[in-house]
């Protein structure tokens, strides 16, 4: 957890130290992700996920979207999505489109995880993660 915190703080300095500390603590201790998430991703990847989630929450707040969060990070042969229920159909469409673009001579794995805790403190929406 400390390594992930340091990676986010060092990354770009877009968010305050206290906001990052609170979000990292919430992600690890209150969001309720399955332990396999922390085995599947490196500290550097987790830091990027948390940093991106902080940004997505800010965009939702600024846009008056509440807990309607949607974020996709794609590469040529991989993708990672974060979303809440209000965006899940749109994200499912994006995942299907992304999978269709991947060369047919490659094997594909798609994993789905859903938090047991809410994406925001005192919220109502669970965080959904899709990894291609």
The number of folded domains in the chain is 1
Q: What are phi and psi of 66, to 5 degrees?
A: 60, -120
User: What's the domain range around 82?
Assistant: 2-131
**Max Cα–Cα distance, the chain, nearest Å:** 46
Q: What is the DSSP string of 55-71?
A: HHHHHHHHTT-TT--EE
Q: What is the pTM of this model?
A: 0.85
Q: Would you write out the chain's pLDDT as a tens digit for each of its 132 residues?
A: 888 877 777 666 678 889 999 999 999 999 999 999 999 999 999 999 999 999 999 999 999 999 999 999 988 778 899 999 988 888 998 988 888 887 678 788 889 999 999 999 999 999 999 998
């Amino acid at each position: 957890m400390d390594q992930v915190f340091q990676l986010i703080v060092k990354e770009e300095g877009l968010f305050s130290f206290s906001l990052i500390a609170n979000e990292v603590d919430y992600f690890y201790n209150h969001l309720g992700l399955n332990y396999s998430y922390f085995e599947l991703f490196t500290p550097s990847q987790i830091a990027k996920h948390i940093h991106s989630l902080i940004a997505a929450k800010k965009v939702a707040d600024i846009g008056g979207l509440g807990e309607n969060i949607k974020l996709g990070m794609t590469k040529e042969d991989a993708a990672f999505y974060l979303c809440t229920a209000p965006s899940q159909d749109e994200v499912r469409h994006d995942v299907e489109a992304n999978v269709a673009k991947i060369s047919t001579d490659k094997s594909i794995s798609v994993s789905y995880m859903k938090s047991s805790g809410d994406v925001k403190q005192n919220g109502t929406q669970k965080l959904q993660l899709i990894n291609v």
